[in-house]
Amino acid sequence: MRIKLMPTSPYSKGKARQYITTFIASLSFLTVGQSVAWPSPTIVKIMAYETPIYLDLSQISWMVSLMFFGNLMSPIPAGYLMEKFGRKKCIIYVTTLQFSSWILILIGQSVSSLYIARFLSGLFFGLISTVEPIYIGEIAQSDIRGRLSTFNNLMMSIGMLLTFVIGPYISYYSLAIVSLLLTFLFFIMFLFMPESPYFLVKKDKNEMARKSLSWLRGDKNKIELDMELNMIEKTVQEQLENQSSYQEIFVSKGSRKAFVISEIFAALKRLSGNGVIQTFAPTTLPHLTFNFLNSSQCVIIFGIIGVISCLCTVLIADKYGRKILLSISCFGCAVTTLISAFWFYIETKTDIAIEFLNGIPFIMFSIHTASYSLGLGSAGGTIKGELFPANVKSKMSALTTITLAVTSFILNKFYLIIAYEEGVYLNYVIFSISCFAGLIFTITYLPETKGKSLQEIQDILNGIERQKITTPVLSRIV
């Protein structure tokens, strides 16, 4: 009896190729995760004089937040670049920014070199966050698009975990070298990936679009391929009838609704507290948790929980739908940050002895990490890939990334300042209120997009009812 190790049907081959393409593309977010997590072990080394450069508290806050300032600067150019050069070439070109960042960290001998390195990494973060989710949304077929959109958050979590695990135990220079090598690995592998068929159709390169789509769909028969290509051409044509400008975002009901949803969730991803919780955990957690876990070990556990949660999300994203997972995610983050706020308030603002409960922050942060990964972590990529209409997709994606960057910059810049001036509990009050507000927004405003084609999603956003075609072939068309 012969065992088939490789998929043989066009549908199975197509799914396998889409998974491979998404995995390789999402390695860009693994390198972003390394940059986001880099301050966590590095701050400890800086305070212990184990780095070639010493920074005070104010300089550390700038070093951390400048990455997100760079993130703020790059989304608008990203929209232009992805439309001029294509999704694939844009991703390849901007990877040079991440190369430059790690090289500067390796050879820099001044505070300003660290500032520039972090800024360049932020530029890369903003560009990738704008372009790559759109690329994934355009290559994926509807029945697995939700699952594929979770890869970015998974890979970012893996990148963070890798830094949390090895960062405290290797040198400042060794950590930079590992990160540089993984960036190079992504660059080489992505060179062999196809361009988005949607972009190629948009640029009237229909034959190239046919080749790209044929590979992505497992070389399926000409009739099915032509049917899907015609669907893509129709979708692109309908959405390109209006001139592409920022004003177009607010012209149609569907665009306005997609814009509101994307902006709210972009801000909520950071206002949930996830990024700063992990970045500043070494300075926030008690010296010893449960009297035997130090802060670096706690951060490693957070990273492991994040990766496991992301893996679970990949498996269930297309089963339970975006709305349910986001609701659970918002609720979990809201409750855990509220309990954390109470604990930190009692510890710092009262005389009540709670040292015997020093495991509560760790437990709450762990549940928070799992809750965030379940929905909010992948929300941005899913929304960019599914909700944005083609004629303003690059512009809406850019504005969403700017909102994410502004929120990230503010939180990372002022987290330590708020902690020292007022008390760390106030940060968690803000996070909790934001998540409860996000829960209400998700329940009342967010449409369910599970299993819907890109055209069906636009119809839902615009309040258009069309008779659904349920033939086996069309049920798999994007």
- Chain center to CA of 86: 20
Lowest mean pLDDT among 252-261, 388-397, 403-412: 388-397
Per-residue confidence (pLDDT) for residue 431, from 0 to 100:
96
How much is the average pLDDT of 238-264? 78
Dist CA 206 CA 102 (whole Å): 39
Average pLDDT over residues 221-246: 78
pLDDT reading at 47 higher than 90: no
* Residue 362 token pair: 């760790």
Q: Which residues pair with 293 in a beta bridge?
A: 289
Whether pLDDT at 461 is above 50: yes
CB 371 within 8 A of CB 272: no
Which structural domains are found in the chain, ordered by start? 10-193 (1.20.1250.20), 252-477 (1.20.1250.20)
Distance CA 475, CA 478 (A): 8
Mean predicted confidence (pLDDT) in 213-242: 81
Average pLDDT over residues 142-147: 80
Residue 351: band (very low, low, confident or very high) from pLDDT cuts 50, 70, 90: confident
Lowest mean pLDDT among 80-84, 368-372, 452-456: 452-456
Band (pLDDT 50/70/90 cuts) for residue 471 is very low
Among 54-68, 135-149, 225-239, 378-392, the minimum mean pLDDT is found in 378-392
Q: How high is the pLDDT of residue 243?
A: 56
What pLDDT sits at residue 288? Answer: 79
pLDDT for 133 equals 87
pLDDT(476) > 70: no
Tokens in use for 357? 């409960």
Give the pLDDT of residue 5: 53
> What is the C-alpha R_g of the chain?
22
Q: Provide the pLDDT for residue 381.
A: 61
Ranges 128-137, 240-249, 323-332, 352-361: which has the least confidence = 240-249
The pLDDT of residue 218: 83
In this prediction, residue 363 has a pLDDT band, given cuts at 50, 70 and 90, of very high
User: In the predicted model, is pLDDT for residue 330 greater than 50?
Assistant: yes
Is the pTM higher than 0.85? The answer reads no
Q: Which residues of 376-413 are buried (b: 16+ CB within 10 A; e: fewer)?
A: bbbbbbbbbbbbbbbbbbbbbbbbbbbbbbbbbbebbb
Q: Report the pLDDT value the prediction gives residue 383, as an integer from 0 to 100.
A: 67
pLDDT band at 141 (very low <50, low <70, confident <90, very high): confident
Binning the chain into helix, strand and coil, the percentages to the nearest 5 are 80, 0, 20
Contacts of 142 (CB under 8 A, 6+ apart): 451, 452, 453, 454, 476, 477, 478
Cα separation, 303 vs 176, whole angstroms: 19
User: Once rounded to an integer, what is the mean pLDDT over residues 208-219?
Assistant: 88
Q: Which among 49, 18, 331, 274 is positioned nearest to 149, based on CA atoms?
A: 18
Amino acid identity of residue 95, one-letter, is T
Highest average pLDDT, of 7-11, 284-288, 438-442, 468-472, comes from 438-442
Mean pLDDT value across the chain = 85
Q: Please, which pLDDT band fits residue 467 given cuts at 50, 70 and 90?
A: low
CA 379, CA 120: separation in Å to the nearest integer? 25
Segment 41-54 mean pLDDT = 88
Please choose, from the candidates 435, 216, 406, 258, the residue with its C-alpha nearest in 3D space to the C-alpha of residue 337.
Answer: 435
- In the chain, the percentage of residues whose pLDDT exceeds 90 is 34
- Residue reference for tokens 């855990």: 336
For residue 434, what are its two tokens? 């934001």
Residue-level pLDDT at 7:
66
* Helices and strands of the chain, counted as H and E runs: 22, 0
289 three-class SS: strand
- Report whether 121 contacts 67 (CB < 8 A): yes
pLDDT at 56: 84
Rounded Cα gap, residues 78 and 72, in angstroms: 11
Considering only residues 15 and 236, tell me which one the structure prediction assigns the higher pLDDT.
15
* 344 band by pLDDT with thresholds 50, 70 and 90: very high
Q: Which of 26-30, 67-71, 260-264, 455-459 has the lowest mean pLDDT?
A: 455-459
Are the beta carbons of 322 and 378 closer than 8 angstroms?
no
DSSP state of 287: S
